[in-house]
Structure 1
Amino acid sequence: MSKPSLQLNEKQVAEWIEFRRDLHRYPELSFQESETAAKVAERLSEMGIRYETGVGGHGIVADIPGTEPGPTIALRADMDALPIQEESGLPFASARPGVMHACGHDAHTTILLAAAQLLTQQSFPGTVRLLFQSAEEINAGAKAMIEEGALSGVSEIYGLHNLPTLSAGKIAVCSGAMMGSVDRIEITLEGRGGHGAIPDQSIDPIVCASAVVMALQTAVSREISPFQPAVITIGSLQAGDANNVIPHRAVMTGTIRTFRPDVQRRMPDIIQRIVSRVADGYRCSADIQYIHQVPVLENHDECATHVEAAAKQVVGSDGLQQAEPTMAGEDFSVYLKQVPGCFFWIGSGPKENADQAFGLHHPRFDLNEECIPVGASMLAEIAMQRLFAITTPE
């Protein structure tokens, strides 16, 4: 395997691992990443990189200018943590109860900073733009940054996400659809409360809610082609407080995932029809809120090819894999609707039996820190290759 042309030395790797562990110990939820942003800003200042803070929440936009005019290539990392109680037992585990970097955004932030360090040591045409983003976990940060001009002048954008079920030292990428769309539904069913022993004098919203949950499954099994993946999951159902009382209302929330834009567009009407008609059959009224969040994440074919070329340089052909599609969502998809780009997986699991590792969003999630220098080399390599290729095409 050939050595990457852009590579952190051992001292730099150790320093960035220590930085990531500090971020891990002090996680912050979406749109609350003020301390994280301050630490990022401090490192950017030390590297002499100019930046703007407070973009789309606590986001940071920083530009590394080249030695001559050229295009702008954007690299993005997310910064927020999750409302999860950490159970990893790590010596640098979260010091904040109920908040954890269970998705590895602490590593993503570190990787982008480390890539910036590599890039400041190079000469290249054009500009590398660094996007440190808030609130990916609630699918709001990318939209907020775009609204405040983060993509202004950008030719292409690239981003990565660690994957603990993929061994560290491996890269997975694919063309086209890679991750599902994400929408949210909020359903309130109202009946008439009463005594649990006298159901005929009430209208039971719990029974209605049970029927709605089951009926919603037919939206996928009977209305969407089996060759067009879709998922409807009701994740919460709240109703009543006492065992012998029929409550007045039931409230449920759920997530809708699809893998094609046309299927995503069809879902609101399907959900509205099923819920309202089932509710009517059970004598309940239904209020349905369908909240669009992010589209299908679709990599641009040419950009995916560029990522593959960089991966072969950094990890070799043996380290490059075809990414398997997943219904998990990512608001990087919002950037890809604006400019060409590619999102890819970087292995963050153990070298052996990575498929048995605790996955993303698990309270015992543990990231293999060998992914940090690999990720830094990947982002820096992609930026350099694209800047020179666009500036001096064959």
Structure 2
Amino acid sequence: MVDIIAIRRDLHRHPEVGFTEFRTASRVVEILKSLGYDVIYGKDALDGASRRGVPSEQKLEEAYQRALAHGANLQIVEQMRGGYTAVIGVLKGKEAGPTVAFRFDMDALPVPESTDDDHLPHAQGFRSTFEGNMHACAHDGHTAIGLGLAEKLADRNFAGTIKLIFQPAEEGVRGAYAIVQKGLLDDVDTLYGFHLGTNVPLGEVHGGSTGFLATTKMEAHFYGVSSHAGATPEKGRNALLGAATALLNIHAIPRFSTADTRVNVGVLEGGTAANIIAESAKLIVETRSESEEINQDLEQRVRTIIAHSAAMHELEHSIEVIGSAIPITNDSELAHLAIGEAKQVEGFTSFKETAANSIGSEDCSFMIKRVQQRGGKATYMIIGTDIPAPHHHPKFDIQEEVLPRAVELLDRIARRIAK
């Protein structure tokens, strides 16, 4: 029997950031196979070239070896080596019918977890053992729910096909696009995504969530010429100065009158010493908007600023997209169905068919759009849990009683559609 509380706590102890979820994905594969699912993973589960913001080969290999040292199945994870950590479980029911998919994100965050006595994971002995990484956004709970749902549906007492999508690298909106580009959503008739928490209290369910912004995350590099800053400053080409010029002008991009927008330079790095002209520098930038088209406009403005900032200081430059997402449009029919089923689950007491929950971004948006473009329907739910600290905070935690309720809700939704 799948013990979802134990699974959640085990995953919480072993948090792995995007595209390094080797141990997590290995456990998912093992459990799905034990339940009779056909399992797609490794390079069969995502398009490698479409991944965004993949860690360096060194970091990937370090995470791979760490996963093996903490019990990952060698035969499974060797297929994931290099950051191919998506897992898709497929199960056919007792007769023909629709393909119903659910998406669960698996990755953790580079957040050091609290050691305070009032932090439950620390007090009860399941705090992160991977120092500097933490499940600070409930993805350990999401993965546990997915495995609990897999067990429920293993009786095959439904019509059609169930597809359980365990996605890497949601943080930074990096992983979903590569699964979409592999074509793994192309046969899906109905897709449900969801998130725990997001300031929605325990007992409340939202059938559809709005407010997710389109976003583009970019890493820009500036390449100059180093020189002695005192003796021969004119011979240098200051990459840090070019990056700083870009930073100031990116933040000077005007707001838009037709949609909410955001721009931010979150990282500026460069230089080695006070007396050396900086040969290289790096910016990490994000744009956001409630409009996909306006976000594209913002992205182009940022690209123009970077290019001209480099040119005015006689620098070379490069830009890489390391993450992106688009807005979400929920199908009201699915939101209504979800609320109808939630009302049958003991412990759920408050319901909203659709509510605004976010001013962030969510890369499940690419999966939702692909399904809808091909004639299917999709929605993104919120399942409430009280949280002692905000998402991405060192003291973030969830109420574990929400986990079996969420499993029952998703099971009811699956059987309602695939009947």
One of 268, 276, 296 as aligned partner of 2:299? 268
- Which of 203, 211, 220 aligns to 1:187? It is 220
Are 2:216 and 2:324, in contact at CA under 8 Å, matched by a contact in 1? Answer: yes
Pick from 385, 394, 401 the counterpart of residue 370 of structure 1.
401
TM-fit CA distance, 1:62: 2.0
Which residue of the other structure, out of 101, 104, 122, is the alignment partner of 1:77?
Answer: 104
Alpha-carbon deviation of 1:260? 1.1
Find the aligned partners of 2:33 and 2:239 in 1 and give their Cα distance.
Answer: 57
SS at match of 1:113: helix
Write the distance in 1 (CA, Å) between the matches of 2:224 and 2:292. Answer: 35
CA contact (8 A) 1:183 1:256 kept: yes
CA distance in 2 between counterparts of 1:335 and 1:99 reads 27
Q: In 2 relative to 1, CA 198–168 (structure 1 residues): closer, same or farther, beyond 3 Å?
A: farther
TM-score, with length taken from structure 2 = 0.77
Q: Is the 8 A contact 2:225 2:279 kept in 1?
A: yes
Secondary structure of 1:298's partner?
Answer: coil
Give the corresponding residue for 1:324: 356
SS in 2 for 1:43: helix
Match of 1:297 among 327, 337, 360: 327
Partner residue, 2:192: 158
**Deviation by residue 1:242-284 (Cα, 9 ceiling, x = unmatched):** 2344423432111222221111221232123333445555x34
Deviation, 1:293, is 3.5
Equivalent residue letter for 2:197: L
Distance in 1 separating the partners of 2:364 and 2:85: 17
Name the structure with the higher strand share: 1
Question: Structure 1: how far apart are the matches of 2:190 and 2:285?
Answer: 33
Matched, 1:335 2:372: no
Aligned counterparts of 1:310 and 1:106: Cα–Cα separation in 2: 24
Matched with 2:170 is: 136
Which residue number corresponds to residue 8 of structure 1? none
Judging changes above 3 Å, is the alpha-carbon distance between structure 1 residues 275 and 322 closer, same or farther for their aligned structure 2 residues? same
Instruction: Pick the aligned partner of 2:382 from 314, 336, 345.
Output: 345
Letter in 1 for 2:360: A
Gaps of 5+ in 1: 1-11, 351-356, 389-394
Structure 2, unaligned stretches of length 5 or more? 47-83, 117-121, 372-376
Aligned counterparts of 1:203 and 1:134: Cα–Cα separation in 2: 39
Letter in 1 for 2:291: R
Amino acid at match of 2:355: A
Counterpart of 2:247 in structure 1 is 213
Query: Hey, what does 1:44 align to over in structure 2?
Result: 32
After superposition, the Cα gap between the structure-2 partners of 1:92 and 1:45, relative to the gap in structure 1 and judged at 3 Å, is same
Query: What one-letter code is carried by the residue in structure 2 that aligns with 1:186?
Result: E
Structure 2 residue identity aligned to 1:59: A
Matches of 1:204 and 1:34 in 2, distance apart?
40
> Deviations for 1:257-314, whole angstroms, at most 9, x for unmatched residues?
2221111221232123333445555x34352515274331313333333333333333
Q: 1:308 aligns with which of 339, 355, 360?
A: 339
Aligned to 1:256, the other structure's residue is in SS state strand
Change (3 A) 1:65 1:200: closer
Amino acid at match of 2:8: R
Q: Secondary structure at the match of 1:185?
A: strand
Shift of 1:34: 2.8
Compared CA separation, residues 59 and 217, structure 1 to 2 (3 A): same
Q: CA RMSD in A?
A: 2.9
Residue 220 of structure 2 aligns to a residue whose secondary structure is strand
Give me the identity figure in percent.
30
What secondary structure does 2:162 align onto?
Answer: strand
Q: Which residue of 2 aligns with 1:98?
A: 132
Distance 1:249 1:19, change over 3 A: closer
Change beyond 3 A, Cα 1:381–1:294: farther
Name the amino acid aligned to 1:155: D
The letter of the residue matching 2:4 is W
SS state of the match for residue 63, structure 1? strand
Secondary structure (helix, strand or coil) at the match of 1:126 reads strand
Per the TM alignment, residue 325 of structure 1 is displaced from its structure 2 partner at its CA by: 4.8
**Distance (Å, rounded) in 2 between the aligned partners of 1:278 and 1:45:** 53
Shift of 1:205: 4.5
Does the residue aligned with 1:361 lie in a helix, a strand or coil?
coil
CA distance in 2, matches of 1:328, 1:377: 28
Deviations 1:140-193 (A, max 9, x none): 432333344422421011111122532222223446x53122312233345565
For the residue of structure 2 that corresponds to 1:337, the secondary structure is helix
Question: 1:367 deviation in Å?
Answer: 1.9
Q: 2:6 maps to which residue?
A: 18
Identify if the C-alpha distance between structure 1 residues 66 and 85 changes in structure 2 by more than 3 Å, giving closer, same or farther: same
1:178 alignment partner AA:
G
Aligned residues of 2:100 and 2:191 also touching (Cα < 8 A): yes
Q: What TM-score comes out, normalization by structure 1 length? A: 0.81
In structure 1, what is the Cα distance between the partners aligned to 2:322 and 2:290? 14
